[in-house]
Amino acid sequence: MGLRPPPAGAVEIASVRHWTAPDHTRIVADLSGVPVYRHRFLDDPPRIVLEIDDGMFDFDPEDMVVENEIVRRIRFNKLKKSAQIVIDLEQSLRYDTFFLEAGDGKPPRIVVDVKHPPLDTMPSASRARVEHHLGPDRIGDFLIMIDPGHGGEDHGRRNPDGLREKDLALQFAKALQQEINGRSGFRAELTRKSDVFVSLAERRKISEDAGAHLFVSLHLNAAPSKKARGTEVFFVSLEGASDRALKELEQIENSADLAGGVRTEVDASPEVTKMIVDLRQNDSVERSQRLATLITDHVEDVRGIETRRVKQAGFAVLKSLFIPAALVEIGFLTNADDVRFVRSKTQRDQYVEALADGIVAYCEEVEIPRIGWKMHTVARGETLAEIASHYAMDETTLRAANGIPDGRDGSVSPGKRLRVRAR
């Protein structure tokens, strides 16, 4: 039996969706119009009740099982003059509820964010920062934080074929993480590992709390002209973008929080004002520029994708980082050649290898000398013992600094680059 047509003035509930982010579980009700609604928390058992006046379910309202240790299930009740969405919780928890108007191809919707318990996933501000100190007496892995743009409610750019920026950014990020983790002396983590919404501020905090040494954010572009194509790599501009096209891109990337329902005035906050002053007093902007340049130099060698010059823009996700940071717009979803490129696993693998090469080249040129070490290129016939002696190191330390297991033959392939102490 089909569903009855809704009466005049009714608000249809087209669907209810949910997903889990690092610090909250989000439930979204997609609607046909602007609702009149109420919400309340009830205990024993703990649950959130969302009631929509004149609401009609446009789907079979069977219970939706979640079972993520936060939300047990979502129930749907049709009352005489309203529709209820009941969110059954495992325990009493804080929550936020807000309404988002239609826009960017999305319908009007009510969002409920159930906050995760502090003991399980503490907010970044209260997590202890992990220090990965590298210096003259200690060298370990460089931690690269890879940031897949957008996610969850924030789809990012889309093309007519259904390709979504958030999905492609995550695919490239996971491939880049795997590539970097295969390099001796480097380790990569992600700001998001699945299709969840993570605010711009949270992405920065995740990086800072993890003690990351570099930050690389991956995105895809779009343009009114289908001829626009290629990779663009950005580093932070404290003043913002300088031309109209860049300002539009800057506005789109910085509006990710609005798509996810985060209401913040980032650039007006005292914290960010202080951060900009601090940024002017250190060299992270210059180091970010060199990172962006070396990434671009290596991507230029990848066939099938054009590269454009390095640019500056005031992307919020980069602004408060006190580490070198770059934002990579891989290609244009509005260009047929770029779409073919990003859909190809073979070309994606070549691209992320080039990205990793650029990151490694930056660390070898800039960061390793900053901590009092240098790079040595092995000559034909050189052994580990000889190289260690030349730099007044013991062979055990040389092996540890370069991920060479103890007990292995002391010969080294000519051309291999080793981290050594500067003399």
Q: Read off the pLDDT of residues 288-343 as tens digits, 9 standing for 90 and up.
A: 899 999 999 999 999 999 998 888 765 655 655 578 889 999 999 999 999 999 99
Residues 260, 285 share a domain: yes
In DSSP notation, 149-196 reads: --BTTB---B-TT--BHHHHHHHHHHHHHHHHHTSTTEEEEES-SSS-
Say what percent of the chain tops pLDDT 90: 50
pLDDT at residue number 238: 54
Mean pLDDT of 189-193: 94
Q: Peptide bond preceding 45: is omega within 30 degrees of 0, i.e. cis?
A: yes
Mean pLDDT of 242-256: 49
Residue 30 covered by a domain = yes
Residue 109 covered by a domain = yes
Q: 110: domain CATH number? A: 2.60.40.3500
* Maximum mean pLDDT: which of 12-26, 190-204, 276-290, 329-343: 329-343
Residues 188, 311 share a domain: yes
Residues 29, 135 share a domain: no
How would you classify residue 334: left for phi > 0, otherwise alpha for psi between -120 and 50, otherwise beta? alpha
The 3-state DSSP class for residue 205 equals: helix
pTM of the predicted model as reported, rounded to 2 decimal places? 0.70
Residues 100, 60 share a domain: yes
Q: 284: domain CATH number? A: 3.40.630.40
Residues 202, 159 share a domain: yes
The 3-state DSSP class for residue 241 equals: coil
- Cα–Cα distance, 323 to 33 (Å, whole number): 45
Residue 2 covered by a domain = no
Q: Out of 87, 115, 143, pick the residue that ends a domain.
A: 115
pLDDT of 88 strictly over 60: yes
Q: Look at 29 and 6; give whichever has higher pLDDT.
A: 29
Residues 362, 258 share a domain: yes
Residue 3 covered by a domain = no
Residues 231, 357 share a domain: yes
Residues 79, 57 share a domain: yes
Residues 182, 108 share a domain: no
Go through 398-411 and write b for each residue having 16 or more CB atoms within 10 A of its CB, e for each that does not: bbbbbebeeeeeee
First to last CA, the chain: 82
pLDDT of 143 strictly over 60: yes
Residue 6 covered by a domain = no
Q: Out of 354, 370, 386, pick the residue that ends a domain.
A: 370
Q: 246 is written with which tokens?
A: 């860049």
Question: What Rg, from alpha-carbon coordinates, does the chain have?
Answer: 25
Go through 38-57 and write b for each residue having 16 or more CB atoms within 10 A of its CB, e for each that does not: ebeeeeeeebbebbbebbbb
Residues 80, 24 share a domain: yes
Residues 149, 234 share a domain: yes
Q: Look at 394 and 351; give whichever has higher pLDDT.
A: 351
Residue 1 covered by a domain = no
Residues 166, 41 share a domain: no
pLDDT of 388 strictly over 50: yes
Residue 75 covered by a domain = yes
Nearest by Cα to 72 from 128, 114, 14, 32: 114
Q: Across the chain, what does the average pLDDT equal?
A: 83
Q: Residue 386 sits in which domain range?
A: 373-421
**Domain total of the chain:** 3
Residue 86 CB coordination number (10 Å): 16
